[in-house]
Amino acid sequence: MSIRGIWKISVLAGLMLSVCGCGRPNLIGTDAAVYSRGTLFAVASQDMNSVYAATVTALKQLEVEVIETAKDVFYAKIVGKIADGKTVTIRIEPGESNSTNLSIKASKFLSGNEERARVIYTQIKLNL
């Protein structure tokens, strides 16, 4: 087997391990997002308060009704209701080096909705 083949297998194995693990994938860089298991995971380069404010504004701009909010210095959660009755849940936690971890799940079911989650994330980024 060539070195190139071994390298490809190693990269593929690393990606599989990161996706199959529990919780947030570990290979997310700042201001990037990865969709896994029905949830969009992202890391923003701003502090949690800025990301929280941008998220609330983004949902209002997208005409998503905010039905629940919770926030303290350790964690924030925003739940919105989309016009078709489905929900979107956004969880925000402070990360390392003044970054913020987000997870966006846009559905009532386990499968999630990647397209909606990415639209919401894009709108959040525009507000940061």
- CATH of residue 89's domain is 3.30.310.80
- Counting the structural domains of the chain, the total is 1
The reported pTM is 0.74
Whether residue 99 lies inside any domain: the answer is: yes
Lowest mean pLDDT among 25-29, 43-47, 85-89, 94-98: 25-29
Cα angle, residue 75 at apex, residues 70 and 79 outer, rounded to 5°: 40
- Residue owning tokens 């979107």: 88
Q: What is the tens place of the pLDDT at every residue in 11-57?
A: 666 656 555 544 444 445 566 789 988 999 999 999 999 999 999 99
Whether residue 38 lies inside any domain: the answer is: yes
Whether residue 17 lies inside any domain: the answer is: no
For residue 18, how many C-alpha atoms fall within 13 Å in the half-sphere facing its CB?
14
Instruction: Tell me 64's DSSP state.
Output: P
Whether residue 121 lies inside any domain: the answer is: yes
Whether residue 6 lies inside any domain: the answer is: no
Whether residue 8 lies inside any domain: the answer is: no
Whether residue 11 lies inside any domain: the answer is: no
The whole-chain average pLDDT of the chain stands at: 84
Q: How far apart are CA 12 and CA 79, in angstroms?
A: 35
The parent domain of residue 87 ranges over: 24-127
Q: What is the pLDDT of residue 88?
A: 95
Whether residue 97 lies inside any domain: the answer is: yes
65-90: average pLDDT: 95
